[in-house]
Amino acid sequence: MSFKEWFVKRSPLPEMWREHMAEYYAPKNFNIFYYAGSLLLLMVVLQFLSGFLVLAHYIPTAQGAYDSVYGIMYDVHYGWLMQYMHVDGVSLIFVLLYVHMARGMLYGSYRSPRELVWIIGYTTYLAFMAEAFFGYVLPYSNLSYWAGTVITSLLKSIPFIGGWVTTLVRGGPGMSGDTLERFMALHVTLVFLVIVGLIVFHILYLHKVGSNNPDGIEIKANKGPDGHPVDGIPFHPYYSVKDLFGFGVWLIIFGAIIFYAPTFHHIFLERTMSTPANPLKSLPDVTPPWYLSPFYAMLRSIPNKTAGILLMVFAVLVPFVLPWLDRNPVKSTRYRPVTRILLIIFFINFFVLAYLGEQPPLPKYFFVERLGAFIYVAFFLLLPFVSKFEPTRTPPARVRFHAH
C-alpha cells in the first residue's frame, strides 16, 4: 500500500477537493465582476497575516496604544509594510465587498434558490463593518477616541437598557484603556472568527445550489450525457488559474497603493488618525471612514436622533429581505432594463451618500442628503412593484459565451 492510498483512505480532503474544486461546475460565462469573491478570500488571508504582525507589537492601554502603533511605523523592521497593508487592506476589502454585492444585485444572484447565500453574505458584510470599527478604535488616535465615543453612544438609544449596554461596551462611562482591551478581544478573536465562519458557510451554501451567472439562468437545467451542466466548467483548473491572474492584477493595485500612496489622499488613512486621543479636544466633525459614510449620511439627514438611528438601522437591515422584494421571474438585469436603470441610480446614489457623509454637517448638504436617503429607501420599497410590472426580454436558453 503506497502512502497515497494509506492517506486517502483516512482523509476527507480528497473528497472535499473534488466537491468544491475539481468537480464543482461553475458557469463558463463569468465576467470581470466575478473576480471580487476570490479576491476577498485573498484579502482576508492578507489581513490575517498583517494583523498578526501588528498585533505582536500592539499595547492595548490608553497610555501605550498610540505610541505602540507608531512604534511599528518607525522602529519595527518593515513595520510600515505591515501597517499599511492592514490599513489599506480594510478599504480595499470594502471596495471588493461593494463590487461583489453590486454584481449579485445586477445579475439576481440573491434570488431563489440562493437566498441563504445572500443572507449569509450580507451578514458577513455587517461583521466586516463591526471588525473595521473595532480596529479603527485600537490605535487610540483622536479620531479613534471620538469615533468610538460617537458610535458607542448610538447604543444609548436602545430603549430601557441603552445606558447599561453603552457602559458595558465601553467598559466604563467613557472611552478608556478598558475599551481598548475589550475592543482588541473582539477585533482579534470573536468578530474575526465569526467572519471566517460566515465565509465558510457562504461558500458551502453556494456550492450546494451552484453559482449564478451574468445571464441569470440555471445551468443545472441543461445537463449533458455525463451528468454535468453543459454550460459549466470545473472550478479547478479553469477558474483557479483565472483567479490566479486576478490575484496578480489585484496585488499590483494593492502594492501600488502601499508603496506610492499609502494614505490614498487621506481617504484610507485619515488625517485625524495622526494625533493622539484627547478627551479635551473634540474633533470639529467626526466622520466615519468612507465605507460606512453612506449610512452615516442617512443617520444625519434626520434632525431627530432616534428617528435618524431608526432610518440608519432600517437602511442597514433592509437588504436582508431583498430576495423576497424582487418578484420578477427573470433574474438578471441584462434582460430587465427598468430594474437595471434603477440599480444604476441606486449605486450612484450610494456613492453620493458616501461623499456627503464625509462632509462637515453644513445646511447646504441637507437637501441632497435627504434626497439620497429617500432614493435609497424608495428603491427597496418600489422594487416589489417595479419587478412585477416591468417589461422584460426573454433570457437565452444557454449562457452567452464567446470562446477566447
Partner 1 sequence: MKKYVVWAGMALGLFAGSASGAFADDGPQLLTPHYTYNAKTIISGARLFATNCMACHSIKFMRYEFLTHDLGISRADVQKDIMLPTGSTFKDNMISAMPTQMAHKWFGLPPPDLSQMVRYKGQDWVYTYLLSFYQDPKRPSGWNNHVFPNVAMPDVLAPYGGIVNEHGKLLRAGDESPQKFKEQVTDIVAFLRFVSDPSVVQRHDDGPWVLGLLAFFTIVAYFLKKEYWKEVK
- Separation of alpha carbons 395 and 393, rounded Å: 6
Q: How far is the CB of 54 from partner 1 (least distance, A)?
A: 14
Residue number, 1 or 280, with CB nearest to partner 1:
280
Q: How far is the CB of 156 from partner 1 (least distance, A)?
A: 25
Three-state SS for 27? strand
Which residues of the shown chain bind partner 1 in the complex (CB under 8 A)?
28, 70-71, 73-75, 80-81, 84, 233, 237-238, 241-242, 244-245, 247-249, 251-252, 255-256, 258-260, 262-263, 271-272, 274-275, 284, 360-364, 401, 403-404
Residue 35: how many CA atoms within 13 Å on its side-chain side? Answer: 14
Q: How far is the CB of 259 from partner 1 (least distance, A)?
A: 4
- Separation of alpha carbons 358 and 191, rounded Å: 26
- Separation of alpha carbons 356 and 290, rounded Å: 10
Chain centre distance of CA 221: 31
Residue number, 139 or 210, with CB nearest to partner 1:
139
Cβ burial of 248 (10 Å; 0-12, 13-18, 19+) is: exposed
Q: How far is the CB of 275 from partner 1 (least distance, A)?
A: 5
Q: How far is the CB of 89 from partner 1 (least distance, A)?
A: 15
Residue number, 122 or 235, with CB nearest to partner 1:
235
Residue number, 168 or 241, with CB nearest to partner 1:
241
Residue number, 159 or 284, with CB nearest to partner 1:
284
Residue 225 DSSP class: T
Backbone angles phi, psi at 25, to 5 degrees: -90, 120
Give the cell for residue 381.
420599497
Residue number, 164 or 245, with CB nearest to partner 1:
245
Q: How far is the CB of 174 from partner 1 (least distance, A)?
A: 23
Give the cell for residue 329.
421571474
Contact 362/284 with Cβ under 8 angstroms?
no
Q: What are the helix (H) ranges across 210-336?
A: 240-260, 293-301, 305-317, 322-325
